[in-house]
Amino acid sequence: MANGNIDLASLFKQVSKAVASNQDSLNEADTYNHDHGDHMVEIFDVITQAMKEKKSAEPADQLEYAAQLLRKKSNSGSATLYADGLNNAAKQVTGKKLDAGSVVSILQSVLGATTETKASSAASGGDMLGSLLGQLTGSSSDSDEGLDMGDLLNAGMSFMAAKQSGKSNLEALTGAIVSSSQVASGSSARSQSSEIVASTLLSALTSMTSK
């Protein structure tokens, strides 16, 4: 499996740690059940476990297994959304190597920034944002063909708007992804957790690809 320095198990382990450190604040932000943080910790503990168990497998197989394990071990609404996202992510990276663009596409799918019927659009958005991330880290993404103009405009406008407001490149990338996330649109707590997931994964990816 050619994936350079990128390792999904390590990426999701970093996300799991970040979610755990924000567990209490996420519970507090959940004004309905006050347990969103608990669910997020459970979700990413399961995902991380799945990635470790399938560490030598292809990325698509790792993601598909994580979705299956999550459905077995958790029945929360958030877990269902993330399991669906993992399944979509698996379809997106089938037969592909891991690079900045493909990992950003995985992140978009995991956060519900697309549905199965918009898989090609999500791939395009992932390519665009992945190219931006590649410029930040000095790494290259070879998944830059077939970009859709609508995705370029939407992602690019979100990115530039964030940059103009004084945000860093990483913050701008995070905002561009979360702004189109179906998971984040559910509630304030889900919006906060989506930002934590996106920013942590992008930060960890930047660190891996810049080594």
Of 99, 138, 119, 116, give the one whose Cα is nearest residue 8. Answer: 99
Q: What is the pLDDT of residue 98?
A: 86
What's the CA gap between 8 and 11, in Å, rounded? Answer: 5
How many folded domains does the chain comprise?
A: 1
Assign residue 184 the CATH number of its domain: 1.25.40
Residue 47 located in a structural domain = yes
Residue 121 domain boundaries: 8-209
How confident is the model over 18-56, as pLDDT tens digits? 999 999 999 999 999 999 999 999 999 999 999 999 999
How confident is the model over 121-174, as pLDDT tens digits? 444 445 555 565 555 555 544 444 434 445 444 555 555 566 567 667 677 777
- Helices 119-137 & 188-209, crossing angle to 10 degrees? 50
Q: What is the pLDDT of residue 131?
A: 60
What's the CA gap between 61 and 55, in Å, rounded? Answer: 10
Of 84, 86, 80, 92, give the one whose Cα is nearest residue 66. Answer: 86
Instruction: Spell out the long-range contacts of 151-157 with Cβ–Cβ below 8 A and sequence spacing 24 or more.
Output: 151/121, 151/124, 151/125, 152/124, 152/128, 154/125, 154/180, 155/125, 155/128, 155/129, 156/128
Q: What is the pLDDT of residue 197?
A: 95
How confident is the model over 61-120, as pLDDT tens digits? 999 999 999 999 998 999 999 999 999 999 989 988 888 888 888 998 999 874 333 334
Residue 2 located in a structural domain = no
Q: What is the pLDDT of residue 134?
A: 58
Q: What is the pLDDT of residue 52?
A: 95
Residue 114 located in a structural domain = yes
Residue 3 located in a structural domain = no
Of 114, 115, 116, 117, give the one whose Cα is nearest residue 129. Answer: 114
The one-letter amino acid at 135: Q
What's the CA gap between 59 and 97, in Å, rounded? Answer: 8
Between vectors from CA 158 to CA 153 and to CA 133, what angle results, nearest 5°? 90
Residue 89 located in a structural domain = yes
Q: What is the pLDDT of residue 136?
A: 52
Residue 1 located in a structural domain = no
Q: What are the angstrom distances between the C-alpha of 133 and each of 21, 99, 206?
A: 25, 10, 7
Q: What is the pLDDT of residue 160?
A: 58
